[in-house]
Amino acid sequence: MTNTTKQDRVLIFDTTLRDGEQSPGATMTHDEKIEIAEMLDDMGVDIIEAGFPIASEGDFKAVSEIAERSKNSRICGLARANFTDIDRCWEAIKHAEQSRIHTFIGTSELHRAIPNLTMDEMADKIHETVSHARNLCENVQWSPMDATRTEWDYLCRVVEIAIKAGATTINIPDTVGYTAPDESADLIRNLITTVPGADEVVFATHCHNDLGMATANSLAAVAGGARQIECTINGLGERAGNTALEEVVMALKTRNDIMPWHTGIDTTKIMAISRRVATVSGFPVQFNKAIVGKNAFAHESGIHQDGMLKNRENFEIMLPEDVGLSGTSLPLGKHSGRAALRDKLEHLGFDVGDNQLKDVFVRFKDLADRKKEVFDDDIIALMRTGEDAENDRLKLVTLRVACGTGGPAEATMVMSVDGENKTAICQGDGPVDAAFNAVREVHPNKAHLQLYQVHAVTEGTDAQATVSVRLEEDGNIATGQSADTDTVVASAKAYIHALNRLMVRRGKMGEGADNREINWKDVT
C-alpha cells in the first residue's frame, strides 16, 4: 500500500479509551466511553483506539458501539499476537466505516523472555499474525512493544517482516519512557532509510512520560519522519502517562515556523474534552499542566500583569480561545435566568439538554445564594456534581457535623438507600472521618479508600471544594467526585458517588463488563 499521507500532515491517534484507561482507577463506564469517543470524533481525531476487545465482554461491546456510531474517525481495536485476539478485535470493529486492527508483540530481549520465544520463533509469529490481521482488515497497525530497547538489527528485521506481511502502519513504542528526543528522531529516521518497504507505510510514535519527555520525544519522532502521534487527553495513562494530545497539537500549531506540520484537530474543543476526561476518569488536571491546567493562562506577577495589560503577547504565546477557554469570570448571579445559564454553558463547551439544564439551574441558584461571586470554574464543578444521580441507589439527604478541640468529631447523617431514608450518628478522627464512618454505618461495605483529594475550585473562604475519592473492593476500582462550598459535604457526596459506581460495577460482573482477564503488563 502506498503511503498517501501528505508529508506535512500528522495523524492523531488517540488511545485515551485504551492506554489511558489502564491508569489504576481510571476505568470508565460504557456510557462514558461512548461519550468520550463521540467528543474525540467531533474534534477531528484521525484514529480512535477504542479499547481491547478481548479483555472483557464490556470492552467488546464498547468498541463495537463506538465503531457503529463513529462518523469521522477510523476506529481501532488492540490485539495481541494471536489469532483469537485478532479475530475478536475484527468482530468488534468491522462495522465501522473506517476500521483498523492494531496488533503487537514485545520485541526487546526482556519482553521476548515473557513468552519464551527465540528471535526466529517470534519473527515467524509476527509474520503469521500480521498476515492474518491483513486478511481480515485492509488497515493494519503493528507495534514492536519496547521498541526503543530492542536490538537495532532485530528491530529492522521484524519491522521488515511486518511490512511484507501487510502492515500499513508501523508504530514504534517507547513503552517505558526510556528514550530521549535525539534518539527518538534518529530511530525513526534510520528505520525509514534502512528497512526495505518503509517508504510504503506510515510510521507512528507512541511515547510514555516516565522521564517527562513524552511530548518532546513524539515531536522529535515527527521530525525524524513519523506521521502519526499516539497520545491521550491530559496525558492520561499508566505510570507517568502518555504523550498529551493537547500538548503536541498546540506545539505544532504554535511553533509551525520550526515544525512545519499540521493536524486536523479542532483545538477549540480541547478544554471541553479535557474537563470531561478528568471528570470520568477521576484524575484531576494539575494546576500548572501545559495547555489545559487551571494556571496555564493565569498571571499573578505584577510585571506579568502589567505586560498583559499592555499587550497580551508579552506573556501568552497562544490565545486561551484557541483551546476553548473563555478566561473570564461568570457574570451571573441569583437573579440570572436559564437562558443566560445555557448561553454560558455553551460558551464553556457544554451541550446540555432541557432536563439537564433544569437540574443544573437548581444547583446554580443554590450556589449563587451561598457565594458572593460565581466563576466559570464554579459552573464547571456544578456540571461534574450530581452526575449519574438519577439512578444512584445511595443518596445523601442531610449531614450535620460537630467538631472542634473538645473531643472527637461527630456526624449525624440521613442517607437514602434504595429510596428509604436511614440515619446514623458516628464519631471519627475529624469531620471527614466521622462522615465516612456514618456512610459505612448506613451502607456497610469492605471498600478500601485508595485516594482522597480536595481542591479549591476558586478563591476565597466561600470557594467550592472539589473532592475526589477512589475506592477499591475485590479488584473493582471506582472514583467518585463532588463539589460543594462545605468540604465535608463534598467529601461525603464523593464517597457515596464512588460507592454507587462500585455497585454498578459489581452488578455488571456477571456480564464481564469490567472483569478484565488480560494481563495488562503485556500491553504497550
Q: What is the DSSP string of 227-274?
A: -EEEEBGGG--STT-B-BHHHHHHHHHHTTTTS--B----GGGHHHHH
Residue 1 forms part of a structural domain: no
Supply the pLDDT for residue 36: 96
CA angle, 179 as apex, 175 and 180 as ends, to 5°? 145
Structural domain includes residue 160: yes
User: 304 and 232: one domain?
Assistant: no
Dihedral sign, Cα of residue 117, residue 123, residue 128, residue 132:
positive
Asked if 411 contacts 425 with a C-beta cutoff of 8 angstroms, the reply is yes
User: Could you tell me which of 254, 238, 17 has the C-alpha nearest to residue 246?
Assistant: 254
Residue 256 lies in a domain: yes
Structural domain includes residue 370 = no
Whole-number pLDDT of residue 5: 47
151 belongs to a structural domain? yes
4 contacts: CB under 8 Å, gap ≥ 6: none
Q: Left (φ > 0), alpha (ψ -120 to 50) or beta: where does 419 sit? A: left
Annotated binding residue 208: yes
Q: Which residues of 263-288 are buried (b: 16+ CB within 10 A; e: fewer)?
A: bebebebbbbbbbbbbbbbbbbbeee
Summarize pLDDT for 464-473 with one digit per residue, the tens: 888 989 898 8
Distances (CA, A) of 487 to 305, 376, 464, 465, 478: 32, 19, 8, 6, 20
Q: Are 503 and 476 in contact (CB under 8 A)?
A: no
Is there a single domain that holds both residue 307 and residue 395? no
pLDDT of residue 415: 94
User: What amino acid occupies position 396?
Assistant: L
Q: What is the pLDDT of residue 523?
A: 54
Q: How far apart are CA 136 and CA 472, in angstroms?
A: 39
Residue with cell 455488571: 508
Question: Of the candidates 273, 290, 307, which is a domain's last residue?
Answer: 290
SS (H, E, C) 52-91: CCCCCHHHHHHHHHHHHHCCCCEEEEEEECCHHHHHHHHH
Residues 284 and 301 in one domain: no
User: Is 448 assigned a ligand-binding role in the annotation?
Assistant: no
Residue 89 sits in the same domain as residue 133: yes
Q: What is the pLDDT of residue 38?
A: 97
Assess whether 49 and 108 both reside in one domain.
Answer: yes
Q: What is the pLDDT of residues 482-504, one digit of tens each?
A: 888 899 999 999 999 999 988 87
Q: What is the domain count for the chain?
A: 3
Domain boundary among 290, 311, 344: 290
Number of helical H runs and strand E runs in the chain: 16, 14
Give me the sign of the Cα torsion angle 244, 37, 513, 139: negative
Instruction: Report how far residue 402's alpha carbon sits from residue 233's, in angstroms, rounded to the nearest whole number.
Output: 41
Q: Are residues 303 and 242 in the same domain?
A: no
Return the CATH number at 160: 3.20.20.70
Q: Is 340 within the bounds of a domain?
A: no
Does one domain contain both 149 and 272?
A: yes
Q: Containing domain of residue 313, as a range?
A: 297-323
Q: Is 391 annotated as a binding residue?
A: no
- Do both 302 and 276 map to the same domain? no
Q: Does residue 364 sit within a domain?
A: no
Same domain, 315 and 398: no
Residues 6+ apart with CB under 8 A from 34: 62, 65, 66, 69
Q: Is 347 annotated as a binding residue?
A: no
CATH number of the domain encompassing residue 397: 3.30.160.270
Task: Please check whether residues 315 and 224 belong to one and the same domain.
Answer: no
Helix, strand, coil distribution of the chain in percent, nearest 5 = 45, 20, 35
Domain boundary (275, 290, 305) is at: 290
Gyration radius from the chain CA atoms: 25
Task: Specify whether 280 is located in the same domain as 423.
Answer: no
Asked if 258 and 156 sit in the same domain, the reply is yes
Question: What is the rounded distance in angstroms from the CA atom of residue 485 to the CA atom of residue 396?
Answer: 16
Cβ(419)–Cβ(440) under 8 Å? no
Q: Is residue 482 part of a domain?
A: yes
- Measured over all CA atoms, what is the biggest interatomic distance in the chain, rounded to whole angstroms? 78
Listed as ranges, residues in the chain with pLDDT below 50 are: 1-5, 300, 305, 308, 329, 509-522
Closest C-alpha among 180, 183, 185, 177 to residue 207:
177
